[in-house]
Amino acid sequence: MKTVTQDRPYSQTLTRLREAGLRPTRQRLALGRLLFDGGDRHVTAEALHEEAQAAGVSVSLATVYNTLHQFTEAHLLREVVVDSARTYFDTNVSDHHHFFLENSGSLMDIDGNKIAITGLPQAPDGTDVARVDVIVRLQGTPRAAE
């Protein structure tokens, strides 16, 4: 008896796209699968594009950009601003923060429940806090870790 998961490798992504009101095109399914099958990931547009090529998925860089932005609007991804040179997209959309390895340009999640920030001043009148980002910038190379 075959497992259901093997029969429907795209199912998770398909459902996510449907729920987001995005047509499940070949490109979006393939990119969605690369992004969501497996653990949490941090990607740049260029990196995802190369990964798609390597996986034999033909998709233009423009579409990678479009898709990443659409996924972000649909809250399937979120943008992480850590480096003014490039934009990172994070598949973990829950409350969390980041370690940023400045040498390699890679990111690691810090669970949002684990840390607490106290003493934050009130937001100015007329404004609302959209989000609080904590970025721990690291120097050096981690031993035996991704």
3-state secondary structure of 108: strand
Instruction: Spell out, one character per residue from 10 to 49, where the chain touches a second copy: x when CB under 8 A holds, - when not.
Output: ----------------------------------------
Nearest-CA neighbor of 77 among 27, 136, 20? 20
Q: In angstroms, give the least distance from the CB of 105 to a second copy.
A: 13
Instruction: Spell out, one character per residue from 24 to 53, where the chain touches DNA: x when CB under 7 A holds, - when not.
Output: xxxxx---------------xxx-------
Q: In angstroms, give the least distance from the CB of 24 to a second copy.
A: 29
Instruction: Tell me the number of residues near DNA by CB under 7 A.
Output: 24
Examine residue 78 and tell whether it contacts DNA (CB under 7 A).
Answer: no
Query: At CA 99, angle to CA 93 and CA 103, rounded to 5?
Result: 125
Nearest-CA neighbor of 61 among 75, 40, 47? 47
Identity of the amino acid at 130: A
Instruction: Spell out, one character per residue from 100 to 139, where the chain touches a second copy: x when CB under 8 A holds, - when not.
Output: -xx-----x-x---xxxxxxxx-xxxxxxxxxxxxxxxxx
Distance CA 8, CA 5 (A): 5
Start-end of H helices in 11-76 = 11-20, 26-36, 45-54, 61-73
Pick from 84, 127, 139, 141 the residue near DNA by CB under 7 A: 84
Nearest to DNA of 59, 101 (CB atom): 59
